[in-house]
Amino acid sequence: MSKLSKPPLLKPFKLALIQLGNISANKNDNIKHAREMIMKAASAKPDLIVLPECFNSPYGHVHFPVYAERIGFTPGEPYDIDKSESESVKMLSSAAKECKTWLIGGSIPERDASSDNVFNTCTVYNPQGELIAYHRKVHLFDIDIPGKIKFKESETLTGGTTLNFFDTEFARIGLGICYDIRFPELAIISARQGCQVLIYPGAFNMTTGPLHWELLQRGRAVDNQIFFSMCSPARDTTAGYHAWGHSMVVDPMGKVLCEAEEGEQIMFTEIDPVVFNEARGGIPVTKQRRFDVYPDVSAGK
């Protein structure tokens, strides 16, 4: 693993989660509504705004190729928003710039220009509206619970191959998307790379949501002594996929700081570094790991 820069000092900041509703078959309407909700959230002057997974399209493997947009982002290289082929990226960039705030743009289906593969992709914007980071969902949601739910993202999606974070003036923030949370290695590596906060746009369903949505977030937060948050779409029982909702923020001690219900809602949470520092100071597992006994998964392949 290449040497990482020192993470910024965790500072107090206000986080806004948009549990977006009214996601329809009309992409333009979805993008317009997402922008309206970003503006509404921005009126409370948060430092970071988050949208849910698949905010511009219905959730389903049959929909991903139809709604996919070309982004063409290369990490570490300047990105010309004006030349972007993605209407969603253009909206997110302009919204972040207008609000002068950091924005995690949930996720959208992305079609790679060279391979034509479709990915589930999260994009991140700074307060100047620049696209500065993105994450392609690594672990695809392929499950079959008899009598409950069967879903196979891999029928139309390709999994990403990189782990990603970005630095702000108040935190280093790690990225994941939904099913990524079930694989603790991703969170472990992000935390050991200096991330104090992990944010995963996600859309659990009515089977897995009641079972594991809160449990997994609290587990990842406690194991890694970080703040953990997932932002879900609102539940729509008329849609083909029924999201669990319940967008949430958990602190490093496993305390749920806020939780939405199932409908459309904007939640605001103050992230307090004191809790982070007390958790790591009082229970110093970050300094007690025994890599002479077991491998350090963050050390690379």
Active-site residue 178, yes or no?
Answer: yes
Helix (H) or strand (E) holding 87: helix 87-99
Distance from C-alpha of 75 to C-alpha of 78, rounded to nearest angstrom:
8
Longest CA–CA span in the chain (Å) reads: 55
Burial 224-254 (b: 16+ CB within 10 A, else e): bbbbbbbbbbbbbeeeebbbbbbbbbbbbeb
Structure-token pair, residue 288: 């007690």
Dihedral sign for Cα 183, 179, 265, 32, please: positive
86 — phi, psi (to 5°)?
Answer: -95, 115
Distance from C-alpha of 184 to C-alpha of 7, rounded to nearest angstrom:
21
Question: From the candidates 54, 99, 110, 137, which is the catalytic residue?
Answer: 137
CA angle 234, 237, 238 (to 5 degrees): 115
Distance from C-alpha of 123 to C-alpha of 71, rounded to nearest angstrom:
9
Active-site residue 77, yes or no?
Answer: no
Question: From the candidates 27, 53, 153, 262, which is the catalytic residue?
Answer: 53
Nearest one of 196, 160, 155 to 178, comparing CA atoms? 160
Distance from C-alpha of 147 to C-alpha of 207, rounded to nearest angstrom:
10
User: 131 and 120 in contact (C-beta within 8 Å)?
Assistant: no
Active-site residue 231, yes or no?
Answer: no
Question: Helix and strand tally (H, E) in the chain?
Answer: 6, 15
Question: From the candidates 54, 99, 122, 178, which is the catalytic residue?
Answer: 178
Catalytically active residues are 53, 137, 178
